[in-house]
Structure formats: structure tokens, C-alpha cells
Structure 1
Amino acid sequence: MGLIDMSRHDFTTPDAPATVVRRQYLASASGDLAALRATLADDVEWTEMAGFPLAGTYRTPEGVTANVMERLAEEWADWLVHDDTYVVDGENVVVLARYTATNRATRKPLDVRVAHHFVVRGGLIVRFEQFVDTAKVREAMLD
């Protein structure tokens, strides 16, 4: 198992699991859903944690972007995932990160730590699971 220092990792090996995951984050941050879908396997299983507003498992690249990224953009202003620590063990990549955003309905800010577990095979994300303090997310959604 290896910890990747973001400041020293070049992410240049295109099919390396950490590189694929990093490309997904960059595509998400720039709103490039086509590039994000290109990081996902056709049979991807993307699970948003129980208790999170978008809880559930989504399949297909189009299903993930329509049911997660597009809905987040509708409900939150400036939704960003700040990925800071990568732990890599073969095809498994765990990313420690932070969500920041402002809820459009309440105007309340969100700033919460999160962990993401990815499985990458053949240069594509085949599985994703989110771990987040859902109470903090709900607080930002309540008046």
C-alpha cells in the first residue's frame, strides 16, 4: 500500500489507478462531464452513501453524471471536491478529500471531510463508494 504525496506525484502514467482517479476529479471540477464519463467503465457501480441527499448506486457513465454531478450542480453552487491524500493498493485508490459548496436553497456553506474508495481496472473506474458525514451535509440544506 502506498501513500501518494500530491505535490510530488506526476500523474503521467495514463492508466495508473491514481492517475485515472485524478483525471476524474479534474473533469468534475471543470464541469467537463464528457471527460468525466471517459474515466468510467460502461458497467461502473457508483455508490453515494446512505443518508446523503443522492444516496444510491448508479450504473453507466451517463447514469452517474445525470444522477450525481448534474444534480449536485442544480442543488449546490460551486460544488468542489478538494482531493488531498491518495492511498493506493493495486487497483484500489482511497482518496481523503473535502467537499465545499453553498446550498442554493438555504445559502448555507458546506465544508466537510470525505473519503472516496475507487476500484480502477484497465484504466477505468469500475466501482466508487463515498463516505461522508451526512449530518453536516443535511445541516447545510436545512433553514
Structure 2
Amino acid sequence: MAQDAPTIQDALSVVQEVYGAFGRGDIPAILGKLTPDVVWAVEGREGDYPTFGVRHGPAGALAFFQAMGDVEDVTAFEPKAFHPSGDTCVVQGRIGMTLKNNGKALDYDWVHIFTVRDGMVAGFKELYDTAQVVEAYRS
């Protein structure tokens, strides 16, 4: 018997679960929603900022969250619009944070692109104005 194709609602539900867990600070719940081969990517040149780069597997995603916790105090996190299509969900939002190394406050918009496979996140890509973050981090 063939497995039913994923619906737009399936991808949206998974992504909303991930954001709910992030809002609760429940990183283990997020990691539990990732495929073993997940690709977790944040645009930006590796070495310019601790969260930039491509990581693989749940361990790679955990390393991202650890780097985030090491350098940022998140003061606001708001997914604003969800755009599901098949196994992909694009999310627009904003974040406010204070950098731990120098106390600089940042507030900017972001876009997240999730790929969902069999009810799990198989891909994550984050896009935002990386130059602004690097400039604040280095100052």
C-alpha cells in the first residue's frame, strides 16, 4: 500500500511544533523532530559569527543551539507568517537579541525555510541580514 503524500498541513504542523518547542526553550523536543540526516544551515560565512554555516544531523543542530546560547540573549522571537507548500514551509519573522560579548542590541527580520519528510524536519535554512550581525558582533 502506497504511503499518502504529505499535505501542506503536515509540514505546517511540524514547523509549528518546532517553534512551540523553541518558545518553551525545549531544545530536546526540537531535536526529536529532526531526521537523522537533517541539514541545518544558517547563511553566512563560517567563522564570521558562531551560528553561521551548515551543520549535519541532530548533533549539528544541537551545536547550533549551543552556539546561539553562548553568544545571544534572545529578547523577542516572533514567527509572523507561514507559507507552506508541499513538503516545504517558509516562515517570515523577526528576532530581538542582545549580544553577550558586548551588550549590543539587535532587532531584525528573518526567513526560515523548512523541508519536512515523514513528519520530521529534514532541512532548515535561515536567511537574514548577516552583515548587520557580524558588524555588531565585531564592534
Q: Could you say which TM-score interval applies, normalised by the shorter chain?
A: 0.7 to 0.9
- Tell me by how many angstroms 1:97 deviates: 0.8
The residue aligned with 2:58 is 61
- The AA in structure 1 aligned to 2:133 is V
Task: Report runs of 4+ in structure 1 exceeding 4 Å deviation.
Answer: none
Provide the rounded CA distance (Å) in 1 between the counterparts of 2:20 and 2:106.
Answer: 20
- Tell me by how many angstroms 1:79 deviates: 5.6
Taking structure 1 as reference, are residues 95 and 34 closer, same or farther at Cα in structure 2, changes over 3 Å only?
same
- The AA in structure 2 aligned to 1:136 is Q
Alignment partner for residue 32 of structure 2, among 34, 38, 51? Answer: 38
Q: In structure 1, the residue corresponding to 2:101 is in which secondary structure?
A: coil
Taking structure 1 as reference, are residues 80 and 28 closer, same or farther at Cα in structure 2, changes over 3 Å only?
farther
Mapped contact 2:97–2:105 kept (Cα < 8 A): yes
The residue aligned with 2:20 is 26
Equivalent runs, 1:71-90 vs 2, <5 Å: 71-78=67-74, 80-90=76-86
Provide the rounded CA distance (Å) in 2 between the counterparts of 1:103 and 1:50.
Answer: 17
- Percent of aligned pairs with the same amino acid: 27
- Segments of structure 2 that go 5 or more residues without pairing to the other structure are 1-6
TM-score by length of 1: 0.82
The superposition leaves residues 27-64 of structure 1 with CA deviations (integer Å, 9 ceiling, x where unpaired) of 12222111010111111011110235422211111221
Q: In structure 1, the residue corresponding to 2:51 is in which secondary structure?
A: coil
- The AA in structure 2 aligned to 1:100 is G
TM-score by length of 2: 0.84
> What is the aligned-residue RMSD (CA, Å)?
1.8
Mapped contact 1:25–1:81 kept (Cα < 8 A): no
Report the number of matched residues.
Answer: 129
The residue aligned with 1:9 is none
Provide the rounded CA distance (Å) in 2 between the counterparts of 1:79 and 1:64.
Answer: 21
More displaced, 94-103 or 130-139? 130-139
The residue aligned with 2:97 is 101
Task: Work out whether 1:129 is the aligned partner of 2:125.
Answer: yes
Taking structure 1 as reference, are residues 101 and 134 closer, same or farther at Cα in structure 2, changes over 3 Å only?
same
- The AA in structure 2 aligned to 1:27 is A
